[in-house]
Amino acid sequence: MRLILALSLRNLLRQKRRNLFLGIAICFGMMILVLAISFSQGLTDTLLNRVVVYIAGHMSIVTMEESNKDRRIIRDKEKFINIVKSNIKDIKKVWESIGVFARVIGNSRADNAIIVGRVADKDFLEYLGQNLVEGNLGDFTSGAVENPVILYSNKAKTLGVKYRDTINARFATITKQQQSVRLNVAAVLRSSNLFEEMAMFVNLKDLKSLVGLKPHETGALYISFKRINNPDHAIREAIKLHKLLKPDVAVIYGEAVNKNRSSNATALGYAGDKESLSIMNKHVSLLSGAMPAEKSENEALVSKNLAADFKLRSGDRITYRYKNKYENLTTENRYRVAGIFNSAGISDRNIILLNERSFYKTYLQNLPADARKYKQAYVPLRRSALYPVFEPEWKLLPRTSTFEAMQLKMRDMTKTKWKGPWLDVRTMYESADFILKLEYALKLVAFTAVLILFFIILIGVLNTLRMTVRERTREIGTMRAIGMQRTDVKYLFIAETVLLTAIACVAGIILSFIVMWVLGLFTINTDSVLSILLVNRRLHFLPTAASIAGNYILIILMAAATAYFPARRASNLSAVTALGHFE
Amino acid sequence: MNMIEMKDIRKEYPLGETVVHALRGIDLSVQEGGFISIIGPSGSGKTTLLNIIGCIDTPTEGSVKIGGEDITSLDDKKLTNIRLFKVGFIFQTFNLIPVLNLLENVEFPLLLMKEHKLSKTDIRERAEKAIEEVGLKDFLDHRPAELSGGQRQRVAIARALVTNPQIVLADEPTANLDSETGAAILELMKHLNETEKTTFIFSTHDPDVLKYASQVVKIRDGHIESTGKPGRSLKTGKTRSKAHVGKAGSTGKRRR
Amino acid sequence: MALIARIAWRNIQRHRGKSLVIGIILFLGALIMTIGNGVVSGMERGLRDGIINRFTGQIVVISGRQEQDNVIFTPLGKDVQVITGYEKIKHALETSGYVDKFIPVGKGLTLVLNENGDVGYSLVLGVNFEEYQKMFMNNVKLVEGAFLNKDDRGILITSGNRKRFYDELDFWFMPEGVKLNDKNLTDEALKYKDRLDVKNDIVLMGSSMENTTMDLRLKVKGIVKYEYLDDYWKNFNIIDIESFREAFQYVTASDAAVNIPSYQRKLLETDNLDSLFEDNVVTKAGAGNKKYEIAELIGKRAARKKPGIDSGAYNIIFVKLKKGGSIEKSLRKLNDAFKAAGAEARAVPWGNAVGQLADLAMIMRGATIGFVMLIFFVAVIIIMNTLSMAALERVSEIGMMRAVGAQKSFISGMFFAETAVISSVFGGAGIIAGGICISILNLLHITTDNNILELLFGGNVLRPTLGFFDIMIGVIELAVVTVIAAAYPLTVARRITPLDAVTRD
Ligand SMILES: Nc1ncnc2c1ncn2[C@@H]1O[C@H](COP(=O)(O)OP(=O)(O)O)[C@@H](O)[C@H]1O
Ligand SMILES: [Mg+2]
């Protein structure tokens, strides 16, 4: 084997010109391949790491109220964070995300921006520190400055503001009211791409209170994983989470109050759709009064037991009070008794039934303490006939795997006009799949290009080898006559090609690194969307050892396969004919 | 007038660190119409000498005149023209153009004579005549690959003669042929020499061949060792040799 | 010559392997090159048709204070500066001699307001619609309703925007008095046809850089569609210029009043932040979830309107040059003229104005050309190698020819003839095959909804073109490649001496 290698190396050196040409071609092909791969990996890195993960996480839990995809509120963030943290693997970080589209006015100039709420954690402070142009990060973290804001230099220029200037911002709160606020510039950042420039950072806490979110509420929950690009894992975990998030019936446990007398009672919502109403009809008998109107907001059905307890009749008013889960508050609502009902199996229970509108109005805004902790609470069982009628804690949107499917899902959701929260579990592989598609397309194009290149190169290698075998026929004859084995002759030619390819590819890899370095020196100033492909206004390449090694081996195998046929022909020459050959 | 005049021809080949002295000072004049054989062992410098005469190689030192024209300082273009018009080559390995048939191979040098603009029929006639002379009339449209070694060498002779050159050079023309065919080729050359009055210079290392020659130049280690008629004892020379060969009768003189 | 050709041709046949290798490579190169050229020229034609002729003209004039040239699709709908001194600019354009037509427009992002508090957005163009259509070859096509006639107030909503509004805001915009037509409903809207919340008017609120805005109710006059590149232009609803100026508070007779100083005054006067955001009746009303009265407000504003449209303000002027005019030269002259006239304006090429669109197109063209270049580079190297090996393989033959009296030029001629024949046969076949591929691509009628591909296609349909000019360029490229590839092997062949033939063993 060593002999064969030594021989093939000598042969390579002997035929310098042709091997130089082939070497250049292979080297060039390899360079293009490495550049293409590194660029598309750089792109993935940019998009995943800097854009997608930064903006949306690998996975997110979003709940949308009133079937409005922009009304994103998670009422009980702790509950979801706990579920995520105790069930989902390889989590790097779970964070709250709130971003609002805002109209901002600086020094007599206005623009649009997205105000993003951030916690000044280590990662974020490090990022700020690295990109600080002017200002004082202490202003952002100390709490001494009211509503500190950090923005990018281009935006600061547009608005004509500097450190310590004020910016007036107006945006809609979660209840769609307009909120105007004065923000104080704490720092100005250097931006690395246009995409980022649209964002302005304020403290998450500040923004939450500005948009009307309570501390236990949030906009959406984003989850990032330790492995930056592992779609399988993200999707697997999303499916798992989706399964875990099956909703139960939403139950409020509290007390009904009437004239200083109180009695425990469970409030439930019932669905107003045709199907549910027909189930109600079948299993619930209305003893007096009527069903509350669909649009009414303060009417209730009271169970026979409760009505008897308080001697209630239809048309009477009743106060219903319950403990909130957070902030140690108590919520008190007054309802008009629209009707009194009875139902088999629960006739001994104190139950108040509310329509969709009135139920969610109180349930969402004043989240009740967990009713399942109270023995007296009526928690409908899954097998009970009325179970499907009761309003759930949330409704789960089906998992989707493409952007289009997700959009369709959202549209369908919008049209339901349901008042309760819709919950969606997403991964960036669907919400940002257009970006991934772009990357995929880029890779595909690059791959085709490289394939055509190597097709041409390998034709060249094949032809060269063919001619070489012809030229060296006598030599082969001599070697065979001396006693070299057929297979050794074959390996000799294959070894030559493989050796050439291996060396040329190494040169190609080195060259590609030089090219990457040179390209990285130029800054590209573009305002177009394409700037999201750039990092610090430079082309971003991310060569990885694994991908380079993989392709290196692939190309060597391809070269060996190409060399196989002429090599076999050479080895099949008989010593006599080979020696007799004269050209 | 001498057809060829060579004065103190030296040829050195650099070979790595050392220098190979292929010719170490050759003086040689050849008169018109001779049938001269250069003989010597392998590596003695026969080929080098013929190459220099044939204008495909230049001497390191010394001067060469062909038909009175000094060729030592000519450029490639002029040298090529001398080869085309004054010299005919017969190679050891036959060297025909594989893609042309016999007739086309012989026509080839005539077609190259652009300045002379020979008419097509003229070319055809001359080529056919040359082929007829070498006895291959029946093979006009054969490709070289379809001919035997002897036939190919005949074609080469026809091609060498078709331009009516002043000298025909043949470097070991029979080396790749069996002795019978070789003899026939030499007979043919001798015959043409006699009928066409063309000067022939051929090299050989085979003493049997000498009997055809009108003059024999014997070289060894880059010197002319002796010149003379075949059959006679040849005069010997040492470091530097001078020979004058020509028609039968002329005697090579020895200097020093 | 005949001899050279004959020998060359026979050599091609003799060394079939070599000829085939070079041939295949040249064929492939020529094929890809031809298709690439076809696609690129189809793209350029498409962009010319879709952008220059039908949306921007060759030159776009913007305010001298505008920082970025990219004014059509600004990030987050960032505002474009108002052009001041329009009279001077107009005069400069009219007297230039090389400008064919021009049209000033207002362009900006408006919020779309709604009783329930949801806010949408829309890009709008404020134009004199009749002139706009004349300028841009009637690129706006009617889907439903009617166009904006002279002196009409109202909005033309694009069907793309209507769909978006429906998805986001749940309204279905219709011109007044027009019945729902299933054909014009989206699948989604058709599904909910019975429950469709149909609206005949829209409430817009402009947002100018100077923060001088107001909300404005506009009648939906028609639903429209852009004939070319609708996927890009559909973002722009069209409103009459006067409404535009009202929405953005550019309602002025003189440029001096463009920057309404009310904002600054208010900033000094009051601590009430809400008042900074102008009289936002709708949003304030929306906060209380009450119905609002806006007609009254519009009445007030309208009364302030001054006669003479052209004395007002615009954001952008689209300029078309006379046939054959050079964009660069005209740009230079125009900018000089503006300077001379003291107009605070800047003329920029259309590509700058459409920023990312032109960038994308350029990248696409660059990638295609780069791709062809890569292939040719590798092809040249492989051909060089193959040919120089072929030259060396024929040393004895070539050397013998030289010995017999062939000049170097003869050898070059023979060698070149061989390569040229292969190149013209296989390369020619490649070009023809490329042409066939292009016709097939045209016949296949490949369509796309992908915005980026649409740019490459120059429209919805892939229509590569291959004109005589493209073919000529292809032939020249092929010739250049052949000459480059053959040059080195040629010198190798020329360097072969008769001696090489003789001394070879
Ligand atoms: N191209 C060359 N390079 C180096 N040495 C050469 C070359 N050609 C010939 N020689 C040397 O010159 C000497 C004469 O060679 P040559 O003329 O071929 O002899 P002959 O034809 O008599 O066998 C030999 O020693 C040979 O090795
Ligand atoms: Mg010899």
Summarised one tens digit per residue, pLDDT across range C36-79 is: 888 888 888 888 888 899 999 999 999 888 888 888 888 777 78
Residue owning tokens 């273009």:
B77
Summarised one tens digit per residue, pLDDT across range B88-119 is: 888 777 678 888 889 988 988 888 887 667 78
Domain co-membership, C182 together with C313: yes
Q: Is residue A408 part of a domain?
A: no
For residue A385, give the DSSP letter. T
Is residue A193 very low, low, confident or very high in pLDDT (cuts 50, 70, 90)?
A: low
Query: Token digits for C237?
Result: 């609803």
Is residue C263 very low, low, confident or very high in pLDDT (cuts 50, 70, 90)?
A: very low
Domain co-membership, A198 together with A316: no
Answer whether residue B248 shows pLDDT above 90.
Answer: no
Nearest chain A Cα to C378, which residue? A25
Can you identify the CATH homologous superfamily of domain B2-245? P-loop containing nucleotide triphosphate hydrolases (3.40.50.300)
For residue B232, give the DSSP letter. S
How much of chain B exceeds pLDDT 70, in percent?
A: 88
Domain co-membership, C151 together with C183: yes
Burial annotation B195-230 (CB, 10 A radius, 16+ → b, else e): ebebbbbbbbeeeebeebbbbbbbbbebbbbbbbbb
Which residues constitute the domain of residue A200? 59-244
Domain co-membership, A184 together with A240: yes
Query: Token digits for B157?
Result: 């002779």
Q: Are C414 and C420 in contact (CB under 8 A)?
A: no
Residue of higher predicted confidence among A108 and C109: C109
For residue B151, give the DSSP letter. H
How far is the CA of C472 from the CAs of B76, C37, C435, C469, C475, in angstroms?
Answer: 39, 11, 12, 5, 5
Summarised one tens digit per residue, pLDDT across range A354-380 is: 999 999 999 998 999 999 888 889 999
Answer whether residue A53 shows pLDDT above 70.
Answer: no
CB contact residues (below 8 A), chain B span 53-92, against chain C: 54, 56-57, 76-77, 80-81, 83-85, 89, 91-92
What is the pLDDT at residue C269? Answer: 36
Domain co-membership, A336 together with A233: no
Which chain B residues are within 8 Å of C408, Cβ to Cβ?
76-77, 80
Is residue B242 very low, low, confident or very high in pLDDT (cuts 50, 70, 90)?
A: low
Domain co-membership, C286 together with C269: yes
What is the pLDDT at residue B240? Answer: 45
Pick the most confident of A507-521, B169-183, C56-70.
A507-521
Residue of higher predicted confidence among A549 and B249: A549
Is residue C208 very low, low, confident or very high in pLDDT (cuts 50, 70, 90)?
A: low
Q: Which of B155, B158, B252 is nearest to B213 (CA)?
A: B252
Answer whether residue A123 shows pLDDT above 90.
Answer: no
Q: Look at ligand 1, atom 27, and give the residue with the nearest C-alpha.
A: B43
Most ligand 1 atoms within 8 A of CB, residue of B48, B60, B169 to mutate: B48
Domain co-membership, A181 together with A63: yes
Domain co-membership, C36 together with C148: no
Average pLDDT over residues C228-236: 89
What is the pLDDT at residue C304? Answer: 41
Give the integer Cα–Cα distance in Å for C57 and C61: 10
Task: Give A54: exposed, middle or buried? Use CB within 10 Å, 0-12, 13-18, 19+.
Answer: middle
Q: Is residue A518 part of a domain?
A: yes
What is the pLDDT at residue C294? Answer: 33
Which residues constitute the domain of residue C282? 261-299
Q: Are A56 and A222 in contact (CB under 8 A)?
A: yes
What is the pLDDT at residue B1? Answer: 65
Q: Is residue A481 part of a domain?
A: yes
Residue owning tokens 């208010």:
C266
Per the prediction, chain A carries an average pLDDT of: 87
Phi, psi of C73 (to 5 degrees): -110, 85
Domain co-membership, C43 together with C93: no
Average pLDDT over residues C85-103: 88
Q: Is residue A546 part of a domain?
A: yes
Q: Is residue A402 part of a domain?
A: no
Number of folded domains that form chain C: 3
Task: Give C261: exposed, middle or buried? Use CB within 10 Å, 0-12, 13-18, 19+.
Answer: exposed
Is residue A130 very low, low, confident or very high in pLDDT (cuts 50, 70, 90)?
A: confident
Query: Ligand 1: does its nearest atom lie under 6 Å from the Cβ of B20?
Result: yes
Answer whether residue C310 shows pLDDT above 70.
Answer: no
Give the integer Cα–Cα distance in Å for A238 and A425: 6
Domain co-membership, A68 together with A154: yes
Answer whether residue A188 shows pLDDT above 90.
Answer: yes
Ligand nearest to the CA of residue B39, numbered in listed order = 1
Q: Are A463 and C356 inside 8 Å of each other by CB? A: no
Answer whether residue C167 shows pLDDT above 90.
Answer: no
CB contact residues (below 8 A), chain A span 70-89, against chain C: 70
Q: Look at ligand 1, atom 6, and give the residue with the nearest C-alpha.
A: B13
Answer whether residue C428 shows pLDDT above 90.
Answer: yes
Nearest chain A Cα to C77, which residue? A112
Go through chain B and tell me how many residues it has.
Answer: 256
Domain co-membership, C368 together with C419: yes
How close B10 gets to chain C, by Cα (Å)?
17
Q: Are A204 and A44 in contact (CB under 8 A)?
A: no
Average pLDDT over residues B146-159: 88
What is the pLDDT at residue A87? Answer: 93
Query: Token digits for A228?
Result: 């930056």
Domain co-membership, C66 together with C184: yes
| All chains having 3 or more CB pairs closer than 8 angstroms to chain C | A, B
Strand partners, C201: C219
Domain co-membership, C72 together with C217: yes
Strand partners, A343: A284
Ligand 1: which atom is nearest the Cα of residue B41?
22
Domain co-membership, A443 together with A502: yes
Average pLDDT over residues A431-454: 79
For residue B149, what is the enclosing H or E element? helix B149-161
Query: Ligand 1: does its nearest atom lie under 6 Å from the Cβ of B48?
Result: yes
What is the pLDDT at residue A531? Answer: 67
* DSSP string for C129-175: HHHHHHHTTT-EEEEEE-PPPTT---EEEEHHHHHHHHHHH--EE--
Answer whether residue C480 shows pLDDT above 90.
Answer: yes
What is the pLDDT at residue B92? Answer: 77
Average pLDDT over residues A508-535: 81
What is the pLDDT at residue B187? Answer: 87
What is the pLDDT at residue C296? Answer: 35
Task: Give C385: exposed, middle or buried? Use CB within 10 Å, 0-12, 13-18, 19+.
Answer: buried
Average pLDDT over residues A147-174: 89
Average pLDDT over residues B175-190: 84
Domain co-membership, C440 together with C472: yes
Domain co-membership, A473 together with A350: no
What is the pLDDT at residue A79? Answer: 93
Is residue A221 very low, low, confident or very high in pLDDT (cuts 50, 70, 90)?
A: very high
Q: Is residue A157 part of a domain?
A: yes
For residue A284, what is the enclosing H or E element? strand A284-289
Domain co-membership, A78 together with A217: yes
Is residue A265 very low, low, confident or very high in pLDDT (cuts 50, 70, 90)?
A: very high
Domain co-membership, C265 together with C321: no
What is the pLDDT at residue B231? Answer: 62
Per the prediction, chain C carries an average pLDDT of: 81
Number of folded domains that form chain A: 3
Answer whether residue A206 shows pLDDT above 50.
Answer: yes
Instruction: Please identify, among A183, A216, A244, the residue that sits at the C-terminal boundary of a domain.
Output: A244
Instruction: Please identify, among A393, A408, A425, the residue that sits at the C-terminal boundary of a domain.
Output: A393
Domain co-membership, A166 together with A272: no
Domain co-membership, A232 together with A270: no
Is residue C272 very low, low, confident or very high in pLDDT (cuts 50, 70, 90)?
A: very low
Q: Is residue A428 part of a domain?
A: no
For residue C487, give the DSSP letter. H
Q: Are C211 and A453 inside 8 Å of each other by CB? A: no
Answer whether residue C144 shows pLDDT above 70.
Answer: yes
* DSSP string for C411-469: HHHHHHHHHHHHIIIIIHHHHHHHHHHHHHHHHHT-B---HHHHHHHTSSB------HH
Q: Are A530 and C363 inside 8 Å of each other by CB? A: yes
What is the pLDDT at residue C277? Answer: 52
Give the integer Cα–Cα distance in Å for B242 and B24: 11
Summarised one tens digit per residue, pLDDT across range B11-43 is: 998 888 889 899 998 998 888 888 999 998 888
Domain positions in chain B are 2-245
Domain co-membership, C317 together with C430: no
The reply to whether C7 touches chain B by the CB within 8 Å rule is: yes
